[in-house]
Amino acid sequence: MTREQLEASHLIGKGNERLCYVHPEDPSKVIKIAYRKYRDQNEIDAIYHEYLEKKGVDLTHINRCYGWIEIDDTRGLVFERVVNHDGSTPKTIKNMILDGDFAQADVVPYLNELQQYLEDTKIIFADVSESNILCCKNEHGDYRLVIIDGLGSRHLGLKFWLQCHCPPYIHYKLWKQWTKLLYRVDVCFQRRADAVASSGRQEGA
């Protein structure tokens, strides 16, 4: 595939390191391509997803990875495209909270389900960010949280190896990352509450 073909396709999102396009030849997939070389998240994702698939883990709360695609002088990584039941792109959990779509009580069962899944599969959510979780809506109005980025490790090396092979370290890491995620979710709710309070003050003035 050429870069021109990729760039003509719909750009779904831009993270800190990668651009995420709809696959020009298959709209049920996305292609992620690095736009800056601070560390190679695609490289880590490719290795970690292959490891998970070999283990045969349940993929309910992560997006399947289909491997590399050559794009001119570089390459992109192909993933399953996460969509709502109507085909639209899900919002991140961050935007759901900041936009007022989720109250704190709404999010608790979804987070509990995700935590149980990570405990069962021993998948490490290394780059914990509320922007790396999509909220996928089904036809009944319920949500499934899907982690689309940040799995495995932030860097390749000893920690990455331990996260794949050392049960006590995996146990510790699962707990540590979950604590971080809950804190970050709380910060989003606080930001939402501050924004609501400040717009109330402006209306009252």
Ligand X SMILES: Nc1ncnc2c1ncn2[C@@H]1O[C@H](COP(=O)(O)OP(=O)(O)O)[C@@H](O)[C@H]1O
- Asked if 148 is part of the footprint of ligand X (rule: CB under 6 A), the reply reads yes
> Rule CB under 5 A: which of 148-177 touch Mg ion?
149
Phi, psi at residue 157, to the nearest 5°?
A: 150, -160
* Tokens 């030849």, residue located: 25
Q: Does 45 bind Mg ion (CB under 5 A)?
A: no
91 binds, among ligand X, Mg ion, none (CB under 5 to 8 A by kind): none
Question: How far apart, in whole angstroms, are the C-alpha atoms of residue 77 and residue 50?
Answer: 12
Specify whether the CB–CB gap between 30 and 12 falls below 8 A. yes
Query: Can you spell out the DSSP letters for 123-192?
Result: --B-S--TTSEEEEE-TTS-EEEEE-S-BS-SSSSHHHHHHHH-HHHHHHHHHHHHHHHHHHHHHHHHHH
Which residue is it, tokens 């490490």?
124
CA 134 to chain centre: 6
- Is the Cβ of residue 132 or residue 163 nearer to ligand X in the bound state? 132
Given candidates 31, 62, 132, 143, which one binds ligand X under the rule CB under 6 A?
A: 132
What is the total count of residues that contact ligand X (CB under 6 A)?
A: 22
The tokens for 158 are: 């000893």
- Smallest gap from Cβ 38 to Mg ion, in A, equals 13
Contact code string over 165-204 relative to ligand X, x by CB under 6 A: ----------------------------------------
Residue 132 binds to Mg ion (criterion: CB under 5 A)? yes
Using the minimum distance from each CB to ligand X, give the nearer residue, 59 or 166: 59
Which residues contact residue 45 at a Cβ distance below 8 angstroms, ignoring those fewer than 6 apart? 32, 65, 77, 149, 151, 152
In the bound state, the residue with its beta carbon closest to ligand X is 15
Q: Which does 135 bind (CB under 5 to 8 A by kind): Mg ion, ligand X, none?
A: none
Subset of residues 79 to 108 that bind ligand X, contact rule: CB under 6 A:
79-82, 89, 92
Smallest distance, Å, CB 193 to Mg ion? 25
Per CB under 6 A, the list member of 6, 44, 63, 136 interacting with ligand X is 63
- Residue 167: count of CB within 10 angstroms of its CB: 9
Residues of this chain that interact with ligand X (CB under 6 A) are: 12-18, 20, 30, 32, 41, 63, 79-82, 89, 92, 131-132, 148-149
